[in-house]
Amino acid sequence: MASEIRVNTLKDASGNNSVATSFVSNGSAKLRHASSTDGASLFGSFNVSSLGDTATGKETINFTDSMSDNSYSVTHGNGNDHNGSIRILLTDTLTASSYQVHAYNTSSALSDGPTCSTVFGDLA
């Protein structure tokens, strides 16, 4: 049988520094991923069901648990490609169950390489 704890506020051990549980839930990342935009290598993840290789430099990240809608925020970490140049990452095609990452090299061309991102918003 599953257990359940219901609280409105969390406090530290001395009874100070309170925070509402709604703040914790709403402010927590709902997805984390690190991969190569070739769609083949998932280095680490949370709430990612699969990757899709859409085209060179384009990868679709699919959620295990969907968001409530497509009004969420995606934050990217710049990955380094094999020659050490910084990549520019953009997000496209946001749906409740996936989003697409576009990775550009320093020559402004789409290219496969390591990327990472984090999603904030409301789960369905």
What is the SS3 assignment for 108?
coil
Q: Which of 8-17, 37-46, 77-86 has the highest mean pLDDT?
A: 8-17
- Model confidence band, residue 31 (pLDDT cutoffs 50, 70, 90): very high
- Model confidence band, residue 14 (pLDDT cutoffs 50, 70, 90): very high
The confidence score (pLDDT) of residue 50 equals 94
The confidence score (pLDDT) of residue 87 equals 67
The confidence score (pLDDT) of residue 22 equals 83
The confidence score (pLDDT) of residue 27 equals 80
Of 17-21, 29-33, 100-104, 106-110, the least confident: 106-110
Q: Domain coordinates of the chain in residue numbers?
A: 29-120
pLDDT by residue (tens digit) across 55-108? 998 899 999 999 999 999 999 876 655 555 556 777 888 999 999 988 887 778
Residue with tokens 């991102």, as numbered in its chain? 117
- Sequence-distant (≥ 6) Cβ neighbours of residue 34 within 8 angstroms: 42, 43, 44, 45, 77, 114, 115, 116
Residue with tokens 């070739």, as numbered in its chain? 38
